[in-house]
Structure 1
């Protein structure tokens, strides 16, 4: 009677496409994502400012993007942090070279310019030379709307009014950022998908390997800069075998793994998130068991048959079947 009572009272629309959320965490609406996001154990290390570089290593669908998004959300809550989130695809240099040193220099240039542009976009009134350079750089690259003065000066360059506004820009971003960030805000670069569409050819191997080298060099040169990155295990194995310098990055890598209990908790959080978004969670809690283990079982049975048929005349707990069929990957779990 107990089971029938609480299940009849808690309403779940099985046709609602948002029931389990988006299977791609980076594309999920912020409110929905935060209602169900589950923090893996390694989140603590990703939030530790003492760790200059942290790399999550996991296969496609295992939660790399979700972890990076969680870290970004938490880091942004602290005023002292400047958090810059981007994808490697939008940062990648356009090079035909297979010279790893050239790729490293270009990656460094891209990373340093990204930081400079983001800082410039957040500066209000600029008085010092460094501040003016940062603001002008951000304006030129579309990171910041041009000020009234800049707009007027740019439009007054005519034959009759020979006014020319000379933009100094950022000539040496590394030196400027060293000065600007010294004893200032911690700057966190969160960069996902460095190995997107990776093919095992020389150019791709150099491109990905040199990215990690560039991150190490920037972090060493500017102590206030921290990197949070992702890579797939198969890609890492390929590039590490060929590029000895990556042995120095191995110490910063964290493998993302999901246990049976984690998968159960993930499903339960999705159901809980659904109830929260539909303003029925508080009422549902009054009907559910106060014991956490029993409550998880109840929430799981709201959306899955419990136990499930498995083989001939056999049944297994729903969480075990889902864990097995999804091969321990959150994205595949949600797709199922």
Structure 2
């Protein structure tokens, strides 16, 4: 361990390497200072450090300027090679070109998002990134681990409690609506609380939305006449469109299903907590160009001005993430 620590302390500061190169090229402390954008006192301090590190004067004053010692002449080639490697390392960046990229993105989402979000994402990707493949994965308790490991690139939806190390960006707010058959015998343009209690319902036991609805019913001590429970949104339009059952669900999915299947959209009379649909990703991939591109696509397609913002989860305040707007907009 001591040998390793000693070796690490002998690593040269890149600024000293740049000074070595500048002094060798110019033979002048003044010109080296100008080249490096530093003051002469700073250059003098750096030169003293460099001489100490390499245990040699390296440059001596003469009528012709600062002349290199034999050790400086022996080391300049290695120093310049090291500087070139550092430049290449700094410039090394794998850019993501959607027009030519061939890769798979895995996005965690609810089955409702398959109807509301996925078509727009897929249409955009097919248009601008024809060789990119999208895989929709179910959002759930394992989603944070999948984002951290890279098994999933992004999660779209609402996650109420997120582990530290994840970023989140708001996309759009959600309130609640009721769906009814367009020819419903008793329900027309609105539904009252009394009618809501009286009618038979179909419940969707899927996602955080179901938990919010169940919480609101419990808080308001309301027991619904539930005629049917479904594990997801598949089949819901056919059920509502051929029966007198009422479905209560978030507005985006409700309005989308109503548009495609000719159902009636009603403002929900029950007070249910609103929420915000967000996109989530792990800090490991925050600066990854491919991940940035995908997040930019989702922000461009779905983000609304009133919910713009970027947050990163905090281990000490999991339920109220610390605002990281200083990091800039998510990309």
TM-score range, shorter chain: under 0.3
* TM-score of the pair, normalised by structure 2: 0.24
Where is the helix percentage greater, Structure 1 or Structure 2? Answer: 1
* TM-score of the pair, normalised by structure 1: 0.24
Where is the strand percentage greater, Structure 1 or Structure 2? Answer: 2
Greater gyration radius: 2
**Which structure is higher in RCO with an 8 Å CA cutoff and minimum separation 6?**
1
